[in-house]
Every structure is written in structure tokens, then in C-alpha cells.
Amino acid sequence: MTALAAPLPMSLPAVMQHLRTLEDCGVVRSEKVGRVRTCHLDPAALQLTIDWTADRKNAWENRLDRLEAYLQDTEPIADREVPASAVPASAVPASKLPASKRRKR
């Protein structure tokens, strides 16, 4: 474990915690002989993880593509005409307000 953790920018207990999680998921298996614990990667379990990640990636890419298409078909807010009554007074600089609407100090 120490050799595995050495090049990583985290503590040995943090690495051990991550490895324990991967072991619980079946991606990593470890065996202890004496004081030495050896870790092995299970390629089949890793492939399941890769497949699951690829499915999530495809799903999100499809969602983002649909969002992009929707946004391209929608008129940008900056190009829309907005009635003055729809704009809150706080959004307009005081210098642009008529004198009757300015707050008196």
C-alpha cells in the first residue's frame, strides 16, 4: 500500500480508504501475506465500470445536444423586446430613471 500511495498527493489512510471502496465494488481485490498487502485490478469489473461511465456520458451528451438545439432555436433574451413595465426599477440605473421615479435621499 505504501508503494501505491507514494506518488499520490494524498495520505496513506486516504489511499487505503479509496482502495477499500474499490475493493467493496469488486474493481480491486487485495491479499495480505505477512506484512505485505498486494492489490490486483479485476479487468472484468473495471470493464463494467467503463461501460457504465460510457452510458452516462452518452446520456449526458444527448441531453446537452438537445439543450444546445433548443437554445439555438430560441431567440436570445438580449434580442427580445421587453416592455418597460416588466423590468424591475432596481435593474435600471438611477441616472436613466425619470426624476419622478428617483429615490429621494
What are 32-76's pLDDT values in tens digits?
999 888 889 999 998 998 999 999 999 999 999 999 999 988 877
Q: Is residue 85 part of a domain?
A: no
Q: Is residue 63 part of a domain?
A: yes
Q: What are phi and psi of 32, to 5 degrees?
A: -115, 125
Average pLDDT of the chain, as a whole number: 84
Does residue 37 sit in the same domain as residue 6? yes
What range defines the domain where residue 54 resides? 42-74
Q: Is residue 49 part of a domain?
A: yes
Q: Is residue 80 part of a domain?
A: no
Does residue 49 sit in the same domain as residue 37? no
